[in-house]
Amino acid sequence: MSNLSNEDHLDEFLENSLSGYISTTPKGEIIKANSRIAMWLGLEREQLIGKRMTSILAVGSRIFYETHLAPMLRLKGFFEEVAAELSLSDGSKMQVLINGYAKKDENGQPQEMRLNIYRATERKVYEDNLRHAISDAENTIQTERELAILREQFIAVLGHDLRNPLGAIKTGSSLLGRSVLSDRDKSIVSTIAKSSLRMEELIANVMDFARVRLGGGILLALHEVMIEPIITHIIDELMISYPERSVITYFNAKKSVRCDINRLSQMLSNLLANALTHGSVDTPVKIITEIQDDILKITVINGGRAIPTDVLETLFEPFTREANTPSKQGLGLGLYIASQIAKAHGGHLTASSDTKETSFTFQMPL
Amino acid sequence: MSVLERNNVHQLGNGSTTMMFAHGFGCDQNMWRLIVPAFAENYKIILFDHVGAGLSDLNAYDPVKYNELDGYAHDILEIAEALQLKEIIFVGHSVSAMMGIMAAAQSPGLFKALILVSPSPSYINDGDYIGGFSRIEIDELLASLDQNHLGWSMTMAPMIMANADRAELSEELTNSFCRTDPTIARQFARATFLTDSRSILKTCHTPTLILQCSEDIIAPVEVGAFIHQQMDNSKLTILEATGHCPHLSAPAETISAIKEFL
């Protein structure tokens, strides 16, 4: 510490500070300024005295100062962290942040307006970059959204338009099936009929997907029903296609359930078909149905190899299927739609898998 | 949402004649704080915030309506209708002075007098007309408002402040003081600084007082003289006050000029 008095010390500090200091009269005439602000502006310190505060600001900041900051100083007594632009004598501009407060006399009248000015050029660049990043991101999102809607509309239209020609094929094959046919022709007609059914399923899935994604969601027609006959019926249906397989059921569901029978059947049929298709042939598929604490829980379990963890994570997302076995699994929409049906019922679908068994569990509150 | 809530309308004062105060760009009805007490004893006072400013209902902001000053002028007429005001003495600062002229041109019977504080019908120089700014400067202002987003949004942050030196200010008012939504402020700036209302001056015949500051970078002295010359029933008073807000920087002089006129 030198032998300077406190006041001299403070003056020296302000004078050599890295920030600019300006004092003005209440009307905005500059009465004091340090060398830093004068240097930034490209003026001598003395040249600043008597100028109006607004004269050192770029036009935008000048208007902002007159219409907003000066009133703030008058009425609130201060403002903080306001971004502004200085207009330098070489014609260029400098980004700054300003804090200001009104020093009042003993009667509470403003005596002096004191302004601290900080260089903010780096910050300005940073803010500009942020702004650009935001606007880029907004544009990307907008484009993506438009694309997604277009894609989904395309799917909906496609699904819808495929139904009519398929209807004609089905009717045709059914009519042909009634005629007297050679064995070879019978076999061809039966393949056409099966393929048409398979295709009808795929189209229904595509339509369901589009319905969910385009905002409509899956609509339910709710009825109070017992769950056991529904499951038994689904098993009977699938056993026609998998006569060599066996399914073991366990029921502990004495209460009725309020659900959409067709949708719930669609979901359970999908789960069971998956279990029969992917499970090991020599392990029976198990279906456990329980109602406990007003929660319906249906678990479909099959043996066989485990589903890899990364696949398990995205199992319920649309268009996911094992890359190596394309045609067998269709579009990869089955589980997505199943989970949407569960969701529409206020429930959810989960999956777990290890080397021993793979299970899918549907739960819904009653 | 009623008109009165939408515009955060406050009524005070006693008297049969109504004075309606409209704030300008960049602030809100708090701007009139130093003026109103001088008139509250003898006049019924109406204060309000333009939609987008102060404590107005931001949800009522309609970018199409408020793209033109006429949208704001319409609000003034709606407030008058909602309160069944007659013979209004309208006091408008800066851009609101023009809104007052627009309102009076539409419903001349509604207004007894107009008091225009630092008015300007057009801010851009045009041939012989001195508006105070070149078109390039106004574009620069608008661009800087677009970029200055952070500077403006800071003023939106709720501020808790010790207010010992002005105990009469209620905390609620103080915290919202001159609150401005940055997006709305940008559009308001566009409507304010790009509108040329010179042609409507001649259509207004309501008795008018023009208060012109002697040194105002936003509305220079030439502008006050121009308005006076265009409005047949007007009186021009040049104040000693400097700056754009004489009602804040020189309240006493402003009050006495208004009282003398009334």
How many domains does chain B contain in total?
1
Chain A contact present for B154, CB below 8 A = yes
| Nearest chain B residue (CA) to A72 | B178
CATH number of A127-213: 1.10.287.130
- Find chain A residues with C-beta within 8 A of B178's C-beta: 68, 71-72, 75-76
B-chain CB neighbours of A74 within 8 Å are 245, 248-249
Q: Is A255 on the interface with B (CB under 8 A)?
A: no
pLDDT for res B32: 92
- Among B93, B228, B244, B247, the active-site one is B244
Burial A214-251 (b: 16+ CB within 10 A, else e): eeeebebeeeeeebeebbeebbeebeeebeebebeeeb
Contacts of A130 by beta carbon, 8 Å cutoff, 6+ apart? none
Inter-chain CB proximity B243 and A77 less than 8 Å:
no
pLDDT band at A56 (very low <50, low <70, confident <90, very high): very high
* Band (A216; pLDDT cuts 50, 70, 90): low
> Span B60-78, mean pLDDT?
91
Could you give the 3-state DSSP secondary structure of residue A305?
A: coil
Class of domain A223-365: alpha beta
Residue A83 has its nearest CB partner, among B94, B151, B178, at: B151
Q: Which of B147, B213, B218 to mutate to test the interface with A (most CBs of A within 10 A)?
A: B147
**Position B133 in a domain:** no
pLDDT at A310: 84
Domain membership flag for residue B104: yes
* Ranges A168-177, A356-365, B17-26, B169-178: which has the least confidence: B169-178
Question: What is the count of residue pairs from A and B with beta carbons less than 8 Å apart?
Answer: 101
* Residue of A28, A61, A76 lying closest to B144 (CB–CB): A61
CA distance linking residue B187 with residue B64, whole number of Å: 10
Does B244 sit within 8 Å of A66, measured CB to CB? yes
CA distance A140 to chain B (A): 21
Does some domain include residue B111? yes
Residue A5 has pLDDT above 70, yes or no: no
pLDDT for the residue numbered B164 = 36
Chain B residue with minimum CA distance to A60: B141
Q: Is B49 a catalytic residue?
A: no
3-state secondary structure at position B48: strand
B181 within domain boundaries: no
Judge whether residue A88 has pLDDT over 90: yes
CATH number of the structural domain spanning residue B92:
3.40.50.1820
**Residue of chain A whose Cα is closest to the Cα of B134:** A59
Does the pLDDT of residue A335 top 70, yes or no? yes
**Whole-angstrom distance, CA of residue B136 vs CA of residue B95:** 20
| Min Cα separation A216/chain B (Å) | 28
Question: Rounded to the nearest 10 degrees, what angle do helices A334-344 and A261-278 cross at?
Answer: 140
Q: Is there a contact between B133 and A128 if contact means CB atoms under 8 Å apart?
A: no
Q: Is residue B188 part of a domain?
A: no
Q: How far is CA B217 from the centre of its chain?
A: 17
Helix (H) or strand (E) holding A130: helix A121-178
B140 reaches A (C-beta below 8 A)? yes
B71 part of a folded domain: yes
B94 is catalytic: yes
**CATH 3.30.450.20 residue spans of chain A:** 6-119
The architecture (CATH level 2) of A6-119 comes to: 2-Layer Sandwich (3.30)
Question: Mind telling me how many Å the CA of A214 is from chain B's nearest CA?
Answer: 29
List Cα–Cα distances, B221 to A39, B120, B256, B258, in angstroms: 33, 10, 20, 18
Residue type, A2: S
Q: Is B218's CB within 8 Å of A60's CB?
A: no
Considering chain A, what is the average pLDDT of its residues?
86
Tell the residue number behind the tokens 């012109």, with chain if given: B212
Q: Is residue B234 a part of any domain in this protein?
A: yes
What is the ipTM metric for this complex? 0.77
Task: Answer yes or no: is B83 within a domain.
Answer: yes
Neighbours of A303 (CB within 10 A): 17
Distance of CA A347 to the CA centre of its chain: 21
CA angle A79, A81, A84 (to 5 degrees): 95
Residue whose pair of structure tokens reads 């502008």 in the numeric block:
B223
Domain limits at B237? 3-121+197-261
Where in chain A is CATH 3.30.565.10?
223-365
Assign B167 a pLDDT band (cuts: 50, 70, 90). very low
